[in-house]
C-alpha cells in the first residue's frame, strides 16, 4: 500500500500563501482524498499526485479545479466506476471536494505526450466516466515538475520526462484547437479559452508549463491590444460580475489573425 505524505501535503499548501482557513480546507481535502483513494484501491494504487494551478501558486478559490492523477498498477475500466464514484461522493461533501478533476491511469500508460487509450476520469459536476483521456505533454510536464506527491514515490520516479520539442508540439496542438473554437459561448468558456491560449503561447516560447495569470501578464506585454480581453478573462476567473464577453471574443479573434506573428503560420 502506498505511503501517505500527510506532512508534506500540509507544508506544500502552506507555502502557497493562501489564507489559514483556505489552507486548512485544502489540506484536509487532500489528506482525505489520499486516505479514501488508498482504501478504495488498496494495493492497486501506486501513487497520487496533485498539480495544476493549486501546486503552481495560482489557485483561484472562485473557479480553480484541483487537478490530480492517480497512478495504478493496472488499467482501470468501466467495472471500477462504482468504487471510484463512491470515493468521490464521499469527498464531494467537503469544501472544494467537487473541484477535484483528474484521472486514474496505469503506470505503463504514462508517456511524455500524454496517456493514450481509455481511462477512468473525474470532472467537476459529473460522475466518473470511462473513455479517452485528454492528457497532453504540458499536463505530463506539470505532473513531473510541478506537482505534490500525496501518496507513493516522487513524481519524477513515475512520470516520464518531457523534452522541449514534445512539450511545444503538445501545446501547439492544443492552441490550434483553442483558436478554432466558436466565439458564441459563455463568459466562463471564453475566459478559459483565452487564458489557455495565453498559457500555450507562453509555454511554447519558454519551454515550460506555466499558470494562467503569469501567461496573461506576459501576453499583455507582448500584444497590448489584447489586454482588455485578458483583463475580462481574469475577472471571470475571479468570479467578478460584469466582465465583458465581447472583449474576450475580440482578443481571441485578434490572436487568431496574428498566426504568422506568433509563429503559427
Q: Out of 158, 189, 214, pick the residue that ends a domain.
A: 158
Q: For cell 503506470, name the residue.
A: 107
Which whole number is the average pLDDT over 212-228?
95
Question: Which grid cell sits at 175?
Answer: 492552441
**Has residue 67 got a pLDDT over 70?**
yes
Residues 36 and 123 in one domain: yes
How far, in Å, CA of 185 to CA of 99, rounded?
22
Q: Out of 158, 180, 205, pick the residue that ends a domain.
A: 158
Among 95-104, 193-202, 204-213, 215-224, name the one with the lowest average pLDDT. Answer: 204-213
Question: Which grid cell sits at 202?
Answer: 507562453
Q: What is the DSSP string of 15-47?
A: TTT--HHHHHHHHHHHHHHHHHHHHHHGGGEEE
Residues 145 and 227 in one domain: no
Which whole number is the average pLDDT over 12-27?
81
Q: Out of 158, 179, 194, pick the residue that ends a domain.
A: 158
Question: Is residue 213 within 8 Å of 219, Cβ to Cβ?
Answer: no
How far, in Å, CA of 254 to CA of 32, rounded?
44
CATH of the domain at 112: 3.30.460.10
**Has residue 3 got a pLDDT over 70?**
no
Provide the pLDDT for residue 159. Answer: 96
Determine the structural domain holding residue 213 and report its residue range: 164-257
Residues 25 and 145 in one domain: yes
pTM: 0.90
Q: For cell 489586454, name the residue.
A: 227
Among 60-74, 82-96, 200-214, 248-262, name the one with the lowest average pLDDT. Answer: 248-262
Residues 30 and 140 in one domain: yes
Question: Which band of pLDDT confidence, cut at 50, 70 and 90, is reported for residue 208?
Answer: confident
Question: Which band of pLDDT confidence, cut at 50, 70 and 90, is reported for residue 14?
Answer: confident
Count of structural domains within the chain: 2
Question: Which grid cell sits at 32?
Answer: 482525505
Question: Is residue 26 within 8 Å of 54, Cβ to Cβ?
Answer: yes
- Its sign, for the CA torsion 148, 150, 156, 159, is negative
Question: Which band of pLDDT confidence, cut at 50, 70 and 90, is reported for residue 1?
Answer: very low
Provide the pLDDT for residue 203. Answer: 92
Residues 106 and 13 in one domain: yes
Where helices occur in the chain by DSSP H, the ranges are: 6-14, 20-41, 81-92, 137-145, 155-158, 164-179, 187-206, 212-222, 227-237, 245-257
Higher pLDDT, 87 or 23: 87
Residues 77 and 150 in one domain: yes
Provide the pLDDT for residue 19. Answer: 81
Say if 264 falls within a structural domain: no
Amino acid at each position: 500500500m502506498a505511503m501517505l505524505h500527510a506532512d508534506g501535503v500540509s507544508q506544500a499548501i502552506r507555502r502557497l500563501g493562501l489564507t489559514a482557513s483556505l489552507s486548512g480546507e485544502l489540506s484536509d481535502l487532500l489528506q482525505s482524498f489520499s486516505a479514501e483513494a488508498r482504501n478504495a484501491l488498496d494495493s492497486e494504487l501506486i501513487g497520487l499526485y496533485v498539480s495544476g494551478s493549486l501546486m503552481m501558486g495560482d489557485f483561484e478559490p472562485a473557479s480553480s479545479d484541483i487537478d490530480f492523477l492517480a497512478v495504478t498498477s493496472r488499467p482501470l475500466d468501466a467495472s471500477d466506476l462504482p468504487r471510484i464514484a463512491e470515493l468521490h461522493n464521499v469527498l464531494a461533501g467537503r469544501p472544494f471536494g467537487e473541484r477535484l478533476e483528474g484521472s486514474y491511469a496505469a503506470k505503463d500508460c504514462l508517456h511524455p505526450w500524454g496517456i493514450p487509450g481509455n481511462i477512468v476520469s473525474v470532472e467537476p459536476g459529473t460522475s466518473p466516466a470511462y473513455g479517452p483521456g485528454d492528457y497532453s505533454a504540458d499536463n505530463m510536464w506539470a505532473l513531473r515538475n510541478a506537482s505534490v506527491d500525496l501518496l507513493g514515490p516522487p513524481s519524477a520516479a513515475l512520470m516520464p520526462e518531457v523534452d522541449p520539442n514534445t512539450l511545444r508540439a503538445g501545446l501547439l496542438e492544443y492552441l490550434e484547437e483553442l483558436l478554432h473554437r466558436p466565439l458564441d459561448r459563455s463568459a466562463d468558456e471564453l475566459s478559459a479559452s483565452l487564458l489557455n491560449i495565453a498559457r500555450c503561447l507562453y509555454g511554447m516560447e519558454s519551454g515550460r508549463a506555466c499558470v494562467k495569470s503569469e501567461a496573461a501578464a506576459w501576453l499583455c506585454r507582448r500584444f497590448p491590444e489584447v489586454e482588455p480581453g485578458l483583463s475580462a478573462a481574469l475577472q471571470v476567473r475571479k468570479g467578478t460580475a460584469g466582465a465583458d464577453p465581447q472583449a474576450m471574443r475580440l482578443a481571441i479573434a485578434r490572436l487568431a489573425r496574428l498566426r504568422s506573428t506568433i509563429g503559427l503560420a
